[in-house]
Amino acid sequence: MRQRSVRSGRPFPPSSLRGALVLALLFLLPAVPAVALPPDPPGARARAAPEWAGPPQPSAPGLPDASRPPPLTPAESERLTGALGDYLDGRGGRLSISLHDLATGADYSYGPEETYVTASLAKLDILVLLLLRADDEGRELSESERELASRMIRYSDNDAADVLYSRIGFDAGFAEGNERLGLRATEPASGVWGATRTTTADQIRLLRAVFTDEGPLSERSRRYARGLLGSVAPEQAWGVSAAAEEGDTVELKNGWVPRESDGNRWVITSAGHVTGAGHEYLIAVLSDQHRDYQAGIECVEHVVTEVAAALGGDHSEDVPPRSGAVDGRP
């Protein structure tokens, strides 16, 4: 009796005929054209299997490329230079500034090759060279070196700086280390570290050794230096911090001293790193011939504010005056 299909009630074909039909189907299958699949959307394969493109490049956090402020045009730079010149002419002091934005590549300098006395800003250089020496010896700083470095940077302790200057080899070690860092215009002054002369261009090079991986310092040493620079005593946190917006991170070192050879007019210096949404500034300011300590700070902070605003940030609010202990040694 012939079997019937359960659903249709139609009889199944004989087994020999079913076998012939299967063979025919197998023969015909390769001739069936393949269905074309839609192409991958752009970037789909890169997302599925990304290739290593090296370490991430500096970028402005949370700020799309199209929204980043462009570098200053020559005309804008000329206007800013004129405005700073007019301001300084009215105050009687002398000042140079260099600012470089690691996030956007924008930069600006006013008198970057003019030389100035560092005052206690030289302590940043001493710290970097101390860490470089420890890296060369394949070790971390000793407990005593860490204690001295903390006092020297966070509280601008002069006695600690004296000891550490001897640890790096006095003037010879200072000059040799700075040559390795590419500080071409920074010159020691016969054992008096505070009378070191430098330029803002050199101070930006020094900052790059701490805040980028381009120099000879190890990551461990850079991290340690940043920790100290980010925890200076509050009364000494003036200067390049004027470029900071709310929520920014500031790491800096300052210098200040009256010079008898200059009629007791004041040297005021500041250098550091200010980073936040859309910017990552390296800033160095050197100045002298200020009538007093507070006037020098106000001058430095005014110029920092103007330059940072010109490069794209909104820093138009007045910076409240700050007071701090006087570092009386050159």
What is the per-residue pLDDT for 118?
98
| Residue 16 CB neighbours (<10 A) | 8
Cα(330)–Cα(328) distance, integer angstroms = 7
How far the first Cα of the chain sits from its last, in Å, is 118
The whole-number pLDDT of residue 39 equals 37
pLDDT recorded at residue 323: 33
Bridge partner list, 256: 268
Query: Would you give per-residue pLDDT tens digits along the chain (330 residues)?
Result: 434 333 334 444 444 444 444 444 444 444 434 333 333 333 332 323 232 233 333 333 434 444 555 678 999 999 999 999 999 998 988 999 999 999 999 999 999 999 999 999 999 999 999 999 999 999 999 999 999 999 999 999 999 999 999 999 999 999 999 999 999 999 999 999 999 999 999 999 999 999 999 999 999 999 999 999 999 999 999 999 999 999 999 999 999 999 999 999 999 999 999 999 999 999 999 999 999 999 999 999 999 999 999 997 443 443 333 333 334 333
pLDDT of residue 22: 40
Please report, for residues 9, 104, 133, 187, 240, the alpha-carbon distance to residue 267 in angstroms, rounded to integers and kept in the order given: 107, 31, 29, 17, 15
Of the candidates 231, 211, 230, the residue with the CA atom closest to the CA atom of residue 221: 211
Distance CA 110, CA 88 (A): 12
Rg (CA), the chain: 32
Spell out the domain ranges in the chain.
Answer: 83-310
Task: Return the CATH fold of 83-310.
Answer: Beta-lactamase (3.40.710)
